[in-house]
Chains A and B, each alone.
Chain A
Amino acid sequence: MTARWFRILRDRNGRLGLLFMGLVLLLALSGLILGADPNRIDIPQRLAAPSFAHWLGTDNLGRDLTARISAGTRSALTLALLIVAASAFLGAVIGTAAGLFGRWLDWVVTAIFDTLSAFPALILAFSLVALYGTGRQTFVILAILIFMPQFGRLARSRAQALRHQSFVEAERLLGVHPLVIVLRHILPNIAGPLIVLAGMNIPVVITFEAGLSFLGLGVQPPASSLGTLIKDGFIYMSESWWPTIGAAGTLAFATLGSTLLAETFRDILDPKSATDAEGRA
């Protein structure tokens, strides 16, 4: 098993992914280590270029960009992990139940997943914001609603395939409680694909959060977000390009790094897909 994980280091994409994510994590933690307040306004320092005092310069209100990008990165990573974990958990529970018990439950769950998937994400975002206002809570609920059906569908299809397997049938005939069957046989068999899907969704959630914040629908001031930093930076681009470069660069590293890592994980956990991909190529 350990040898499989060492394959990350042997894989070029894995090494790059680790490097990028390492840098992103370092930046995310740097704000905490340096102790700079990301919301401290210092007008005389507005739009200052990088210096010893402000490593990445300052924004239009003189706030330290290192601290703000660091806070924005922490926020993006925390939200991405929280949303993906919650979506995977809920999707796994609901999808497995639908796949195992079938009948009306399967019909209802499939209808809900189809309805949620059919809604364009932005329209859903605008509707929720109109109803509940902007902010982190609204964003988390919105993102879970958008990402959960993917996990649910995957869990449902795997559970449907497994329920007719002989070992599951045998346990059922022996009178084993359905919950025990799920924990002993179903979940271990669907965990791999769910983890791969979760990994692939992390960069998507990071970009989604940045996109919504760019549109003013995500994280609200004074909290920092990579999306709002890019937007504000774009407005003042002609006066200073540091805010845009810093935030956009971090976002690029975070999404690229997590994508490369997720792809490497997928290849490790599901070597067939990697072989298929190579075969097709």
Chain B
Amino acid sequence: MISFMNRRSFLAGGAVFAASPLLPPFVSAALAERKQAVVRVDVDIANLDPGNRIGTVDGNVILSVCQTLARFDAGKLTWSNDAAKEIKQISETEYTFELNPGQMFTDGYGEMTAEDVKFSFDRFINSDAKGKKLAYAEDLGALDKVEVTGKYTGRLLLKHPSPALWLIGLCDASGAILSRKATEALGDKIATQIIGSGPYRLAEWRPKEQFVLEINPDYKGAAKAHFPRILAKFIAEPKTALLSFQGKELDFTAVDPSSAGEARKVEQAKVIEIEGIDYTWISLNVEKGALADPRVRQAIRLGIDIDMIIAGAYGAAVSRAKTLLAPGLIGAWPEAPLYNRDLEKAKALLAEAGQTGLSVSFTCLNEAVPMATAQIVQANLAEIGVTVTINAMDSGAYWAMGSDDKSKDLELTLIQYLSKFDPSFQTQWFLSAQVGLWNWQRWKSADFDRLHAEGLATTDTVKRAQIYIDMQKLLDESASCVWITHGRNFFIHADWLKPCLLPNAMNWQYEYFGEA
């Protein structure tokens, strides 16, 4: 008889069993079935109202918690029906839709009906409960009205043909279908407590620490989530995030371009590299003091050494931008002028403007790359006699300047905005109506506004491209923006994880995160 258990093996087995709680968490996690993915967000949740969201962290939560009529396919810019059972295009300005029956909002707010769709989109068409226009109203700007034709059916009527409506509006966070009952009951709390019917529900949010998405068992759509939980930890500083990843505290994080080389050396991990379409620039407030003089703005543009910023702050991991729209997008402007540093010309412009001993503030995020950029700009401008005071802010205070006209006292500001694949998404932040919100240059141009409206209604691609080039020419003439880079996005993830991002790299589709 062969004994499978002797005294020695019993003792050894017992010792392993007894020691198992002492194993490092990552070893335990590796042995267990993957119940969650831990991701890092660089900005905390700020506003979960789809029309007033602050950034993509909010947008990504909204899209995983709420349904849209159609949802982007995994990692692609094509879409499939989500809340809608059927969508039909009747003409260039009319769509009909039919919802799937039995789609329940969480927390007992009942079934989704066409009334909820109308309510959600009417907020963009009209205003919120206080009569204030939503920050993202332009996303659905082409929508004239929504008509309810039955419990689950309705019509979307457009003011004009809109090539961008689905891409930047209805499939994105602005197209999130809210529960009318929940939104009216929650009031202002909608900013922090979103009720949806999507693949996940927001189970927990500890400000400045973490939030948890838990799978919604009642979700009826096709985008069923793989992980029961997504734990998102808030770590503002990308270098710190990389250290946390190396410490096995994270499974997925964005990495600073300057740290990409270091990230590639991390074992049991993979690095994703995606060419950026976003835009980082130095905004010059055209209403503030000496900056109101275009010659001063031109002088500052010529005084800053962008190549030095690319090399010093970004470790030469990104390429230089010349204008708003990244290469490859509709309206990209390859012939945009490249402003190389010219100290003599900059000094001459300042002298012509009668400016001596000029002092300006430079506002930026209190992070490694922005701080390095700020110090380079400070050193550069000192050479033309401009004193720069750096005002570094944490992300909460910084992005809060996008409301209530808080940006009016800014002078020079380092900004990074994220992009979508339709140029109208990028140009909307430079409209006159965005002054006091996200147009921190406070530059207003009736021509720019008119062209933006034309671009939204033009379906001819060649004509559209020319419209957006003309808009960028106006921006260039204003000298209110000093373009730095479109960025290059680097991510690191555990080799067992398969993250899912749209090609702009900023829309993370938590519902499609899976195991490799």
Contacts and interface: CB of A to CB of B under 8 A. Distances in A.
Contacts of B372: 60-61
B363 to A, nearest CB: 12
Nearest to B390: A221
Interface string B231-272: 000000101101100000000000000010010000000000
A235 interface: yes
What class of interface size applies to chain A in its complex with B?
A: 10 to 19
B277 interface: no
A232 B312 CA distance: 14
A238 B239 CA distance: 9
A235 B239 CA distance: 6
Q: Report whether over half of chain A's contact residues are helix, strand or loop; otherwise say mixed.
A: loop
Nearest to A44: B311
Interface in B338-389: 366, 368, 371-372, 374-376, 378-379, 389
A41 interface: yes
Contacts of B376: 41, 61
A255 to B, nearest CB: 25
A41 B366 CA distance: 20
A62 B312 contact: yes
Interface in B284-312: 308, 311-312
Contacts of A60: 312, 368, 372
A46 B239 contact: no
Interface residues of B, number: 23
A220 B237 contact: no
Interface string A33-73: 00000010101101000000000000011100000000000
Interface of B: 237, 239-240, 242-243, 259, 262, 308, 311-312, 366, 368, 371-372, 374-376, 378-379, 389-392
26 contacts: A41-B308, A41-B375, A41-B376, A44-B311, A60-B312, A61-B312, A62-B312, A133-B391, A216-B366, A216-B392, A220-B389, A220-B390, A221-B374, A221-B390, A222-B375, A222-B378, A232-B368, A232-B371, A235-B237, A235-B239, A235-B240, A235-B368, A236-B239, A238-B242, A238-B259, A238-B262
> Closest 3 interchain pairs by CB?
A43-B312, A235-B239, A43-B311
Given A221-B374, A235-B237, A236-B239, 19 more contacts: A41-B379, A43-B308, A60-B312, A61-B312, A61-B372, A61-B375, A133-B391, A216-B366, A216-B392, A220-B389, A220-B390, A221-B371, A221-B378, A222-B375, A222-B378, A222-B379, A238-B239, A238-B242, A238-B259
Interface of A: 39, 41, 43-44, 46, 60-62, 133, 216, 220-222, 232, 235-236, 238-239
